[in-house]
Amino acid sequence: MGSAVYHLVLEGKAEYLYDEREEPEDDPAERSRGSFVEAQCAGHGEQVLVLTGEFHSNFLQSVVLRYNQAWGTWERLNIAERDAPEWLYLGPGGFYVVVPNPGRNETPERYLVYRFDSSKGAAYQAYLSEGPQGSDTLPALPGYDAIRLKPRRPQP
């Protein structure tokens, strides 16, 4: 299976999936080149796009994209882990993404829990976040809609 360059179109504007540059010489087209990419829409009442594939990292990369109706803004969380997201929790104050931690390299806990805090905005999530928190149990989040994501298909 070959690779392709992925674009994201929001509100009529097309951008590379990974448009940001970490280094001046970074090429957004190459950073957005992916293979074995899977997409799914998840949610009840609102839809969230979850893209997972092999991009420019040694890990699986996932992009979680949501339009938060309560805040009237797009929310995006980028994740690079050994496994694909398994659970998504949606609430008016943001969302949580739970990724299994099979190798338990970063932390001894069973899950890695990422949080997007709507009150802090996208810039905080992309550049200043604390990273995932380890947990041996799935989060108990009253007021949040818990959604089990489809498992990733085995790759060759």
Q: What's the predicted TM-score (pTM) here?
A: 0.87
Asked if 145 and 91 count as a contact pair (C-beta separation under 8 A), the reply is: yes
What tens digit of pLDDT does each residue of 117-153 get?
Answer: 888 877 666 555 567 888 999 999 999 999 999 998 8
Domain regions of the chain by residue span: 35-148
The CA-atom distances, in angstroms, between 62 and each of 12, 40, 119, 141, 143 are: 22, 11, 22, 22, 25
